[in-house]
C-alpha cells in the first residue's frame, strides 16, 4: 500500500486511512488519497504495464488497497478509445475526434471504476452494509460489486430513475427504495438512517475511494495515446468525480515522470435543465448554488448540488478549460447522430458532449487540428424511456 494519508481537498486536514472515512471531520469537504509516488515508481513503470492485465488494477501501486485479496473486481477498465472519423467529418472544422467508451465496463458505465475501488476498500476496512443515493448507474454498480463482495447494498433512487437501473439493482440482490424527489433527497434520507442501520455511505465524493477508481480513466487515456495527452477533454458532469479524478491522475503521472506539464483543456458538460457547475463557472464562483427544480432526461446529469463543486471548477480554471450546458433536445438528438455515424449507442450524458463540442468550435475554443476526446459514460440501452 503506497497511500500514506487522506487529506481534505479544502482545508488540508489529514485523516487516518486505516479507518472508514466519509467527509472531512473539520469542514465536511471531500478527502483525497495521497501516495508515496517515489515508492510506487519502484515497481510501477511504463515498461511494467506491458506485462499486466487489461483492467484498472494494472495501476495498483496508485490505488488504495493494501491486501490484494480484498480487491472486488468484475474486470473493469481498459475501455476502448475509438477514433471517430465519420462523426468528425460532420463538424465544421477538421479535428482528431475520439470517444472513450465507458459503456464497455461491467454494469455498462464508468461507475464500475469507482465502485470497484470503494467496495474493495470498504471490505478491507471492515464495512458490511453499504448505502448510496443514485440517479441510476452508480446504483447498478454498487449492487453488483456489493453482491460480488458478499455485502448488503442499500440503494435510494428517485422514483423516475430509468427502469433498467431499478431492475438491475433488484436482480443483483440490493435493497431498493424509490423516493419522490431528486438524488439530493435520496442522500438526505441515507444520512438520516445510516447510523441507526449500520450503513457505510459510499455517495459520490462522500468517501475517498470512488475518486481513485475513476482517476484510472486518466491513466488509461495517457497510455492509449502513448503518453501524449489530447488538447481537449469533454466530460459530462453530474457529481464530477471522473473529471476531478482525471485531473488528479495527470498530476500523479507528471510526478512519476510519465508526462510533462502540458494538460488538456477540461470541459464540464451539463444539461440546461441542471447546470449548477456551468452557472457557477460563468459567474466566476468557486462554489455552486443548488440548482432549483432540476429536470433532465440525462439522469446522470441531474445532480443539483455536487459536494465536489469547487474541485471541478478548480480543475476547469487550472486547465484553462470551460463549462457548457446543452438542451435535452440537443443531447437526445446527438445520441442518434453518434449511433448512425459510429455504431455506438451512447448514453444521453455522453451524447451531450457532441452539441457542446459544436458550441466550442463556434466559440473558437476548439480549433482546427485539435485532438479532442469525448467521454461516453454509459450505455444508451439503459435509457430507453428517453427515446
What's residue 354's pLDDT? 98
How far apart, in Å, do the first and last CA atoms of the chain sit? 46
Give residue for cell 440525462: 298
Provide the CA 300 distance to its chain's centre, in angstroms.
10
Q: Any idea of the CA torsion for 187, 189, 194, 199, to the nearest 10 degrees?
A: -60
- The cell for 150 is 458478499
Q: What is the mean pLDDT of residues 24-30?
A: 97
Q: What percent of the chain has pLDDT over 90?
A: 97
Express each pLDDT in 165-216 by its tens digit. Answer: 999 999 999 999 999 998 889 999 999 999 999 999 999 999 999 999 999 9
State the pLDDT at residue 135: 84
φ/ψ region of 220 (left if φ > 0, alpha if ψ in -120 to 50, else beta) reads: alpha
SS3 of residue 381 by DSSP: helix
Q: What is the pLDDT of residues 245-302, one digit of tens each?
A: 999 999 999 999 999 999 999 999 999 999 999 999 999 999 999 999 999 999 999 9
Predicted local confidence at residue 95, as pLDDT: 98
Q: What are phi and psi of 380, to 5 degrees?
A: -65, -25
Could you give all domains of the chain from N- to C-terminal order, each with its CATH number?
81-109+210-386 (3.40.50.1100)
For 62-92, the pLDDT digits (tens) are 999 999 999 999 999 999 999 999 999 999 9
Region 1-29: mean pLDDT is 95
pLDDT attached to residue 136: 87
Residue 1 clears pLDDT 80, i.e. is over it: no
Amino acid at each position: 500500500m503506497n497511500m500514506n494519508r487522506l487529506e481534505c481537498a479544502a482545508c488540508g486536514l489529514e485523516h487516518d486511512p486505516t479507518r472508514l472515512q466519509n467527509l472531512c471531520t473539520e469542514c465536511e469537504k471531500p478527502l483525497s488519497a495521497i501516495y508515496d509516488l517515489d515508492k510506487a515508481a519502484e515497481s510501477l513503470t511504463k515498461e511494467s504495464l506491458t506485462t499486466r492485465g487489461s483492467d484498472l488494477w494494472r495501476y495498483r501501486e496508485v490505488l488504495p488497497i493494501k491486501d490484494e485479496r480484498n480487491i472486488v473486481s468484475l474486470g473493469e477498465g481498459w475501455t476502448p478509445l475509438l477514433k471517430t472519423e465519420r462523426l468528425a467529418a460532420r463538424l465544421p472544422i477538421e479535428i482528431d475526434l475520439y470517444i472513450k467508451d465507458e459503456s464497455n465496463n461491467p454494469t455498462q458505465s464508468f461507475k464500475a471504476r469507482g465502485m470497484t475501488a470503494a467496495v474493495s476498500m470498504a471490505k478491507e476496512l471492515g464495512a458490511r452494509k453499504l448505502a448510496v443515493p443514485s440517479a441510476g448507474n452508480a446504483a447498478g454498480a454498487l449492487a453488483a460489486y456489493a453482491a460480488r463482495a458478499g455485502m448488503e447494498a442499500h440503494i435510494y433512487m428517485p422514483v423516475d430513475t430509468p427502469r433498467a437501473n431499478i431492475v438491475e439493482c433488484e436482480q443483483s440482490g440490493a435493497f431498493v427504495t424509490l423516493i419522490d424527489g431528486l438524488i439530493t433527497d435520496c442522500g438526505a434520507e441515507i444520512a438520516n438512517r445510516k447510523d441507526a442501520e449500520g450503513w457505510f455511505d459510499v455517495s459520490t465524493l462522500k468517501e475517498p475511494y470512488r475518486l481513485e477508481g475513476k482517476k484510472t480513466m486518466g491513466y488509461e487515456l495517457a497510455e492509449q495515446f502513448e503518453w501524449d495527452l489530447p488538447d481537449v477533454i469533454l466530460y459530462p458532469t453530474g457529481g464530477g468525480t471522473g473529471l476531478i479524478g482525471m485531473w488528479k491522475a495527470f498530476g500523479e503521472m507528471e510526478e512519476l515522470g510519465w508526462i510533462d506539464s502540458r494538460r488538456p483543456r477540461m470541459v464540464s458538460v451539463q444539461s440546461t435543465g441542471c447546470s449548477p457547475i456551468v452557472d457557477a463557472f460563468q459567474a466566476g464562483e468557486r462554489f455552486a448554488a443548488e440548482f432549483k427544480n432540476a429536470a433532465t432526461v440525462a439522469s446522470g446529469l441531474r445532480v443539483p448540488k455536487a459536494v465536489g463543486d469547487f474541485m471541478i471548477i478548480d480543475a476547469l480554471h487550472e486547465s484553462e478549460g470551460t463549462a457548457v450546458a446543452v438542451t435535452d433536445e440537443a443531447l437526445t438528438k446527438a445520441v442518434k447522430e453518434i449511433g448512425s455515424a459510429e455504431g455506438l449507442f451512447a448514453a444521453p450524458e455522453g451524447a451531450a458532449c457532441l452539441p457542446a463540442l459544436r458550441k466550442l468550435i463556434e466559440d473558437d475554443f476548439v480549433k482546427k487540428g485539435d485532438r479532442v476526446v469525448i467521454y461516453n459514460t454509459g450505455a444508451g440501452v439503459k435509457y430507453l424511456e428517453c427515446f
